[in-house]
Amino acid sequence: MTGRHRQTSLAHGRRSTSLWDLIAILLVLGALVFLAEASRGLMQPLPAADENVIVLDPAALPGYAAHTTLRMLAAMVLSLVFTFTYATWAAKSHRAERVLIPLLDILQSVPILGFISVTVVFFLSLAPGMMLGAELAAVFAIFTSQAWNMAFSFYQSLRTVPAELAEAARSFRLSPWMRFWRLEVPFAMPALVWNMMMSMSGGWFFVVAAEAISVGGTTVTLPGIGSYIALAIAERDLGAIGWAIGTMLLVILIYDQLLFRPLVAWADRFRFEQETGVAPPRSWVLMTLRRSRLVARATASLGAAWRWSYRALPKPGAGSASAAHPGRGARWLDRLLLGSVAVVALLGVVKAAQFLTAGVGLADVATAVLLGFATMIRVFVLIAIASIIWVPVGVWIGLRPGAARIAQPVAQFMAAFPANLLFPLAVSVIVGFRLDPDIWLSPLMILGTQWYILFNVVAGASTIPSELRDIGASLRVRGWLWWQRIALPAVFPFYVTGAITASGGSWNASIVAEVASWGQDRLQAHGLGAFIADATEAGDFHRIVLGIAVMSAFVVVINRIFWRPLYAFAERKYRLG
């Protein structure tokens, strides 16, 4: 290359870099402006009960969308912190696993209205008379719709790290900290990103309950799309519902481009097996951040500190005193934390039992249990139907990266579609044709949770090694034999994770789905979800706690008897490597 050509190339590189820097600056400034605008009013006083906080003017929807998106992003950050701590503890300690996983089953079975009814007074007391307390209550409610799915996914990935990768980590004597961030998190990242998308969409499903909080005599309405939808349903305004759907679609497409598409492209580097001849996913945002010199300079110190942490912690067998007894301090800390969790759980059970015995009788308990069996039948039938439909579709999408890029935002939008928006259609059809609400309200339960199955199966199918598929093609393994020997064993652990979360989510969604209102028309199915919804609306905390306790008992027993043995079978028989 001549000197003139070299100078021209360098000048072109400088101009290109400057362009990437400009785009990166615009992205960062846009994010800061968004955070500043969406967080305005946190310290303002709560509106009066008769004050109109929400208006159905479509011009107000961009501001409402910003508030809702900020709450969901805050809940997502909290969910990631919870996932990396709680799920890791459960996966690393067999003693903790026996407590933490059943506790996670209980947590995902507690309906969002149950969390709201118990915690709303606590969060409001943190900032008396201020919007901040209500915002914290809403963020926590959305957190409860996101965290459990992500924790289950990360736990499943940590338990199924390929044996050859674990052996390589031992051979290089990686410290537990370095092993976690250099092996386990990268291995779990592709599936975790897909479940983050699912969790974000799941937050949309319950955003109406999170932003329009009504528990007995306490009513809190926050500016957001969820409260906008609640008002539109109450006033039977189909036009406003249409504007809300359009706004949701636009917001989902925006955060798909700015958040999840970059995460998918970034996480592709961590796939256990890279397939030759297939173009990796691309993202203009990720490309901008990688090529920007300003971003590189801003993150250089952070990267250096992170690399220093790898060297600072001792490696196993390094000859230090701590290495002589590896894990001894961790075991004592494990026992201390586990004992604390057990004590808190025991106190909670005792307090709940005392509270229940003071306000409910055996007839109420029997009614709740019978209604729980009705909801259980609905959940079983709906999970079976969703599995038959979405497992083949998920495998097909997961094996085709191009199709996955197209299906990703579509599935996000469908998963985010709140059941409340179908109330006009559901109520009108059931009333018009005199259908049985016990049957025809049931599909609303699976509307948002069936996508847990699809997203996890897609993530599992994308990890099928290309050599395994090539061997199947060479041996002409086709039809049902291909599904039996290649596809289903590969996605089975992922499917079980998705089915467990979908089952728990369906129980949770029963509170929204078993009671449907459209203006003055109200339909109600017989089930535990309707029991809890009625108790919440009436402010009957004894029946609320009873309903939550019965629902948690159903979910835990089903998981212990059916899902957990199936999960152990999948982990033992179909573990990769």
DSSP letter string, 62-89: HHHHHHHHHHHHHHHHHHHHHIIIIIHH
Given this model, what pLDDT does residue 216 score?
54
CA 92/CA 87 separation, integer angstroms: 9
What percent of the chain lies above the pLDDT cut of 90?
11
Residue 486 to residue 460: CA distance in whole angstroms = 12
Supply the range of the domain harboring residue 433. 12-43+60-272+281-309+329-573
pLDDT at 570 (0 to 100)? 77
The reply to whether 555 falls in a domain is yes
Model confidence pLDDT, tens digit, residues 476-525: 788 888 888 888 888 888 898 889 888 888 887 888 788 877 767 788 89
Q: Lowest mean pLDDT of 315-329, 362-376, 394-408, 510-524, name the range.
A: 315-329
* Arithmetic mean of pLDDT, 389-403: 87
pLDDT digits (tens, 9 = 90+) for 435-468: 888 888 888 888 777 888 988 898 888 878 777 7
| Alpha-carbon span 363 to 542, nearest angstrom | 13
Flag whether 87 is in a domain: yes
Distance of alpha carbon 557 from alpha carbon 574, whole angstroms: 25
Q: How many domains does the chain have?
A: 1
Alpha-carbon 468 to chain mean position: 31
Tell me, yes or no, whether 48 lies in a domain. no
pLDDT in tens, 101-122: 878 877 877 777 667 767 777 8
Structural tokens at position 369:
């249990």
The yes-or-no verdict on residue 6 having pLDDT over 50 is no
Q: What is the CATH number of the domain that holds 412?
A: 1.10.3720.10
Q: Is residue 50 part of a domain?
A: no
State how far the Cα of 216 lies from the Cα of 213, in Å rounded to an integer. Answer: 10
Instruction: Please check the confidence at residue 315 and state whether its pLDDT lies above 70.
Output: no
Q: What is the pTM of this model?
A: 0.76
3-state secondary structure 341-401: HHHHHHHHHHHHHHHHHHHCCHHHHHHHHHHHHHHHHHHHHHHHHHHHHHHHHHHHHHCCH
Range scoring the smallest mean pLDDT among 56-60, 200-204, 259-263: 200-204
- Asked, for residue 314, whether it belongs to a domain, the answer is no
pLDDT band at 99 (very low <50, low <70, confident <90, very high): confident
